[in-house]
Amino acid sequence: MNESGTSLLIKYLTEHVGEEITLQTLNDICGSAGLHHWDRVIRNLKQQQGYDITNKRGEWYKLNSLERKEIKGTKTSHTPNGTCSLKIQYFS
């Protein structure tokens, strides 16, 4: 059974903690697993799962630590058109 693209991305990041991983490398790794919107997955890992990931726009991403931030609380707001937005805060 093949790993999902998201699992493969998490595995790669955790095996390369502290390393600047180029966009081309991420494209190659994730594209071969069928994960073409890996930037969305990274945003989710940061915002909703507490991973400490930084980046230099247009160049690289880096997982700074294996330790994840704890979710402090959530707030959901509804807009007039019926959509929801979710804001998640973390302990610093």
CA distances (Å), 62 to each of 38, 57, 72, in order? Answer: 14, 11, 23
Give the pLDDT score at 69.
87
Q: What token pair was written down for 28?
A: 């190659």
Give the pLDDT score at 1.
41
The three-state secondary structure class of 29 is helix
Q: Is this model's pTM higher than 0.75 or not?
A: no
Give the pLDDT score at 36.
87
